[in-house]
Amino acid sequence: MTERPVDLSSLPSYGAPRRSLFSARKFALMASVVAGLGAAVYGFSPQQGPLDVFTSAAHAQVNNEVRKVERPIGFADIVERVKPSVISVKINIADKSAKDDSANKDDDSPFQPGSPMERFFRRFGGPDGLPPGLRGGPRGGRGPVTGQGSGFFISADGFAVTNNHVVDGADKVEVTMDDGKTYTAKVIGTDPRTDLALIKVEGRTDFPFAKLSDSKPRIGDWVLAVGNPFGLGGTVTAGIVSASGRDIGNGPYDDFIQIDAPVNKGNSGGPAFDTNGEVMGVNTAIYSPSGGSVGIAFSIPASTVKSVIAQLKDKGSVSRGWIGVQIQPVTSDIADSLGMKKAEGALVAEPQANGPAAKAGIQSGDVITAVNGEPVKDARELARTIGGLAPGNAVKLNVLHKGQDKVVNLTLGQLPNTTEAKADTDKEDKGSLSKGTGVPKLGLTVAPANSVAGAGREGVVVTEVDPKSAAAERGFKEGDVILEVAGKSVTSAGEVREAIDAARTDNKNSVLMRVKSGGSSRFVAVPLAKG
């Protein structure tokens, strides 16, 4: 709930403005060029005297044709057709003080705890404990709060799309059309994971509406952003598609279109149109050191909007497929450790107990390479593919297990709405970590986990890390628990060294370790020193 796309930047201002391009010297140079062109065009004939080529009928015809070609095409016809479907969205939250202060002492965020946008707020929230652009009661978040964003109708009977963070927690939602008419809207459903919301205006069946595009935009395509920047009302800006498939750290389903059409505070939820007048995306975030547009904005693709809005319209919420695994990317070092030719697929760091994957036999260290025969490029693509399937569907996974390809069949579960809390092992009492046996080849000192209080019974605990070692560069820290080395469980420093020597014998450039840190597991490929 904010009147601007979320600012993803933590960079300082750019500093002093650049010098004008039109310095006296450059301007003089340009003038001399124009003068030279004038002399060349006007010309002179020794026999006939000065010759005005512009009086030539042939030249006039050519000149007119050139002017027709050079005249900018413009977007006025497209804008005239699509702008009536775009709306300004105004929200009101009656009184934040009505919330439970005991659970909200240090939490003035208007976003749902744990939601993707809440993390942005924590980092980029504005003064008075609210995101920049929100206006409300006194400092501390007490009193009514209002905000503005954008949206657009997708049907003649009043269904409209906007961002979840525009209407999240709103007690009242009002929309204003391009012709100035204002209506009250109700929230049909929201999806914090993709930051989309569906609202509905009653009373009419002839609202102008926009069509969601069926095609994927290409980099370099024209794009028109229409919305309500700074609460000014319907505003149009133009640019091109700068990139696609952007991951901005918003969540596992990130697949944003990057555009350079100016998008500012209040454009959240507004459409990005292509030159066919169809919506290619929903503007949701900006990257900006200053809070204003610097030519980098992010839109949710129309394909995602379609699937999410269909579920919101049908049942008010979104259900996603779930296989119950913690996954991570396959880096080049990890690929080398696993004997893979290419760094692709999604590495299973840990299957969740009693989840569909665990029941089907998928284990830590397996690499999921395809879903229903379609190759999986990376971990993000696996999350989007599985999340786009309905719970209960049967799927076939291609899995690389201990160097061998196999096929696993399973039935998708439903993605839980909340994340299960995990203990922070960094804060547990592990006793003294000052003792241990060194593993010089890695720059680590380790001790059996069962000898350190709170570390559990499996693996070895890292008690010391050489700050100049490869292990330190890979993020190892005191208190981490190494569970496996090169696919083998370890319980002592000697077993760690044996696994490393075996990897050297196999001519591996790095050794893969499964490490437990902060209550979760991950795989780390550590380069092996030569000699």
Catalytic annotation, residues:
165, 195, 268
Are 485 and 499 spatial neighbours (Cβ–Cβ below 8 Å)? yes
Q: What are phi and psi of 65, to 5 degrees?
A: -65, -40
Q: What are phi and psi of 235, to 5 degrees?
A: -135, 140
Are 321 and 415 spatial neighbours (Cβ–Cβ below 8 Å)? yes
Are 374 and 398 spatial neighbours (Cβ–Cβ below 8 Å)? no
Structure-block tokens of residue 279: 């919506």
What single DSSP character describes residue 339? Answer: T
Q: What angle do CA 259, 210, 287 make, to 5 degrees?
A: 20
Tell me the H-state helices in 183-340: 302-315, 332-338
Structure-block tokens of residue 227: 């919305």
Are 328 and 523 spatial neighbours (Cβ–Cβ below 8 Å)? yes
Q: How long, in residues, is the chain?
A: 531
Are 351 and 364 spatial neighbours (Cβ–Cβ below 8 Å)? yes
Chain centroid to CA 83: how far?
A: 27
Residue 510 CB contacts under 8 Å (≥ 6 apart), including other chains: 333, 336, 337, 503, 525, 526, 527, 528
CA 195 to CA 210: how far, in whole Å?
19
3-class DSSP state of 192: coil
Q: What are phi and psi of 198, to 5 degrees?
A: -115, 125
Can you name the residues that pair with 6 across neighbouring β-strands?
Answer: 285
- State the first-to-last Cα distance of the chain, in angstroms, to the nearest integer: 58
CA 290 to CA 267: how far, in whole Å?
16
Can you name the residues that pair with 185 across neighbouring β-strands?
Answer: 173, 201
Q: Could you tell me the CA-to-CA distances from 429 to 239, 433, 456, 493 in Å, in that order?
A: 55, 10, 11, 22
Are 478 and 463 spatial neighbours (Cβ–Cβ below 8 Å)? yes
CA 148 to CA 442: how far, in whole Å?
54
